[in-house]
Structure 1
Amino acid sequence: MGFKKIGLLFMVLILTFTMAACSEDSESTGGKVDKNSSATLTVWVHPFVGEDLKDKQKEVFDNMAASFKKEYPNVKVKFEEIPWANREQKLLTALAADQGPDVFYLIPDIMAQFADQGVLTPITDLLGDDWDKSDFEESSIESVTYKNEMYGLPILREVQTYIYNTKILKEIGGDPNNLPETWEEFDELAQKAKDKGYFGRSFEGGATANATLYPLVWQSGGDVISKDGKVLINNKDGLEAFERIQKWYKEDMIPKDSINTIDHFTPFVEGKIMAVWGAGLTVSSLKEKGFKDYVIGPPLKQEKMATFGTTGMFVVPSNSKHKELAAQLVAEMTSKESSEAFNSLTKFIPARKSATAIYDGDKDMAKMTEYVQYASPGVIHPVARVVMPTIQAELQAMMEGSKSPKEAADAVAKAIKDEMGK
């Protein structure tokens, strides 16, 4: 579905929600919900784990429903799984037809887009003033907040960083206990890897800019869009990120298929790449494959240490007929116990401080948890997701040689400004 069609869906949604507000009593009860309320709540979730753990994921969600039912015995909770692919369009289509869920999962850049169009209900209005958010990490609360309103409760945090092949490191004279922290240190090591016939790092150009361009922009000291809405991606710091990607590609530090691939995990496991860009789930996948020759390194810095790491949240749509109950369900799904169970299975990092102890005995996830302080959840702006395909296309054109880094950066900046002006 094209972006013009998504725009039309948003218009339909706005009309739908406006009519619903006029025809129903939608005034918040301030978190006061009758324990004897009767309803069926539908929750849309995604495959957060592989097929081999699908039953365990179902068990985690079933336990959340069972715990909620202790407080609200007359409420039925239905979990329905939808694929990651095209999830935005599926959600918008269902919500426009008034057939959507009462609770669903979002990440911050999509949240900002949906919130800006009135698709979501601020969740603090539904939970009440006495709801305590002190156990959530401050950064995770910031990630679910848009225009001073909290639109969801966070269930997970993520950090993306380099995971190195220790066999390759030793072969090229690297030290697994003293890994690169700067661009220059990394490139020096990547050059040694190249000289031995390896690629320096993975670069999955078919992925979103969150996993490719943005971490480099932030590490250079730049930003994509400032908090006051200025487009910064083509300034000196942003341009430096484009130039670094071009350098890696031209100098064969990243594979030739980096232009559009979405899989460099396989060649890393096959021993062809010194470092793979990954997260906790990457480490889990390595362990499942019996791959032991790895070590987790820190996010890099040029001006500052920074990386991408999303914050996952559960939200309530504006046209849910049971918004207050749905908000209470979200509170249960993000409780300490629920967070511990969910993140232990999925290998994400809990958003609740009290739940992070699940990784006290896991050196790899403890390291990931240490690095989460450097992670940004992306660009929290309504146009963030809309411009992703343009960014991918411009990076591809740059790597192919049809555009210079400045031309690509300027084209991305123009696309962002054009979307803002619509």
Structure 2
Amino acid sequence: MRKALVVLSVVMFLVSLNFGATKITVWAMGEEAKSLDQLVKLFMEEYPEYEVDIQAIPWANAYDKILTGIAGRQVPDIAQMGTTWMSPFGSMGAFEDLAPYIERSEVVKPENFFKGALETGIVDGKQLGIPWYVDTRAMYYRTDLLAQVGYDHAPQNWDELYDAVKKLVENGSRYGITLYQPQDNYQVLLPFVWQNGGDILDSAGNVIVDQPEFVEAFGYYTRFFTEGLTPIAGGGNLFQDFASGDTPIFFSGPWMVSMIRAQIPQIAGNWDVALMPEKKSRTSFMGGSDLVIFRDSKNKEAAWKFIEFLSRPDIQVKWYQIVNALPSVPKAWEDPLLQSDPMIATFGEQLNDAKAPINIPEFQEISVSIDSRVQEAIYGRKTPEQAAKDLKKDIEKILK
């Protein structure tokens, strides 16, 4: 009897250690890595046949770590992948083509995700990543100051935005809007280009930055700088400038909602969030992180099971509760938690019209050229037309 009890105790101990479970290794970064264990616990409770090992990697080291892992074929089963990293690594053939998994999945279906989010995982026509969480940009604006210049609503289109900004400056604001960011300024310019029906490349891969749609958007954006309506070097502290009324309008992501509420509570009730201004569309910038399975993974089916779990609407809502990461699944946005805050709900609406930059390995070089040509235009060294022509030459050279 005693021997039987000892054996039973050993068995129970091994079960408690998830003995014999299939191990899924995951590389994650930043706050996600610190908090993902909360979802892992739920997953392992629901699927005790799996064990998940989260390995935290600092964002600063992540790119080199992934590159070294691919070269040495020492990779995890799953990795969190910034959307701008999908193409550089995906074009190496390092990721599993997920199309066969999607075809037989009840959870991960194309129609279950925001279109722009799903497109971030497509490289060379293959679905290599599944959007885990997303972010986008919307318009932050001072309702009280806009009311003083005749606007009882956020500027709805390009004409209203320009008109409102001019009137805000005439009314005493130092600037009407802030549009510049020190790095990756292409993220501010490209939404205007997309709103006007332009892009960097057409469907055949031709460079089209010298076409009217791109040039008109570039000129519209540049005008705010050359007319002194926006700070040319980013201005001062964004929170202070928003609170003082120096810059009553800016574009940013959902993280700013809680930050403004915490850092400048004195303007509560005098600001709001709205969709991007419309030209031909209201398209905004799409970012976030995808989940990939490495081609060299030894546990691909198990890895896919975990990705399916993270893609469920209820788990996406849970993840939002934990780290405030916006769900990539529209169904999750129906949850009262996300609908109860109108400002956050606005971002959910904006995600229906959001887009990521072209997913090609050369985009990093292209983005540097865009930033360089933007600098020339906003400082008046070149006209938008000339800067766009030079940008076309830059990009064509990069793509040779």
TM over 0.5: yes
Map of 1:410 onto structure 2: 389
2:343 is equivalent to residue 364 of structure 1: yes
What is the CA–CA distance in structure 2 between the aligned matches of 1:362 and 1:243, rounded to whole Å? Answer: 36
Alpha-carbon offset, residue 130 of structure 1:
4.2
Distance 1:330-1:252 versus aligned 2 partners, 3 A rule: same
User: Is the 1:161–1:279 contact (alpha carbons within 8 Å) kept by the matching residues of 2?
Assistant: yes
Q: How does 1:193-272 map to 2 (within 5 A)?
A: 193-195=168-170, 196-258=172-234, 264-272=238-246
Displacement of 1:371 in angstroms is 2.1
In structure 1, the residue matched to 2:113 is: 137
Equivalent pair of 2:22/2:302 in contact (CA under 8 Å):
no
Compared CA separation, residues 132 and 339, structure 1 to 2 (3 A): closer
1:115-138 Cα deviation digits (max 9, x unpaired)? 222121123445673444346225
**Consecutive unaligned residues in structure 1, runs of 5 or more:** 1-34, 49-56
- The number of aligned residues is 373
Is 2:135 aligned against 1:158?
A: yes
Instruction: Calculate the TM-score normalised by the size of structure 2.
Output: 0.83
* Distance in 2 of aligned mates of 1:254 and 1:86: 35
Q: In structure 2, how many angstroms separate the alpha carbons of the residues matched to 1:262 and 1:245?
A: 20
Asked if residue 283 in structure 1 is aligned to residue 262 in structure 2, the reply is: no
Counterpart of 2:53 in 1: which secondary structure? strand
Instruction: State how far apart, in whole Å, the 1-side matches of 2:61 and 2:216 are.
Output: 32
Q: Which has the larger radius of gyration?
A: 2
Distance of aligned partners of 1:360 and 1:303 in 2 relative to their CA distance in 1, 3 Å threshold = closer
**What does 1:26-105 correspond to in 2, within 5 Å?**
36-39=20-23, 41-47=25-31, 58-59=34-35, 61-70=36-45, 71-73=47-49, 75-83=51-59, 85=60, 87-105=62-80
1:264/1:415 CA distance change after superposition, 3 Å? farther
1:373 aligned residue: 352
Counterpart of 1:181 (choices 136, 156, 165) is 156
Alignment of 1:340-359 (within 5 A): 340-356=317-333, 357=335, 358-359=337-338
TM-score for the superposition, normalised by structure 1: 0.79
Q: Pick from 353, 373, 387: which aligns with 1:394?
A: 373
- Return the alpha-carbon distance in structure 2 between the equivalents of residues 242 and 336 of structure 1: 38
Q: Could you tell me how far apart the structure 1 residues matched to 2:65 and 2:177 are?
A: 34
1:119 paired to 2:94: yes
Q: What is the rounded CA distance, in whole Å, between the counterparts of 1:99 and 1:219 in structure 2? A: 42
Is 1:163–1:277's contact at 8 Å kept on the other side of the alignment?
A: yes
CA contact (8 A) 2:232 2:378 kept: no
Measured in 2, the distance between the counterparts of 1:131 and 1:174 equals 47
> Where do 5+ consecutive residues of structure 2 fail to align?
1-18
2:165 corresponds to 1:190:
yes
Specify the code of the residue in structure 2 equivalent to 1:235: Q
Is structure 2 residue 81 aligned with structure 1 residue 106? yes
Helix, strand or coil for the counterpart of 1:313? strand
Task: For residue 200 of structure 1, give the secondary structure of its aligned residue in structure 2.
Answer: coil
Q: Check the 8 A contact 1:153/1:331 in 2, yes or no.
A: no
Match of 2:282 among 285, 294, 305: 305
Cα distance in 2 between the residues matched to 1:87 and 1:181: 40
Whole-Å separation in 1 of the counterparts to 2:186 and 2:167: 27
**d(CA) in 1 for partners of 2:176, 2:25:** 48
Give the CA deviation at 1:40.
Answer: 5.3
What are the superposed Cα offsets for residues 119-171 of structure 1, whole Å, 9 maximum, x if unpaired? 21123445673444346225133332334422122222333121102232233
The structure-2 alpha-carbon separation of the partners of 1:74 and 1:376, relative to structure 1 and needing over 3 Å to count, comes to: closer
SS at match of 2:364: coil
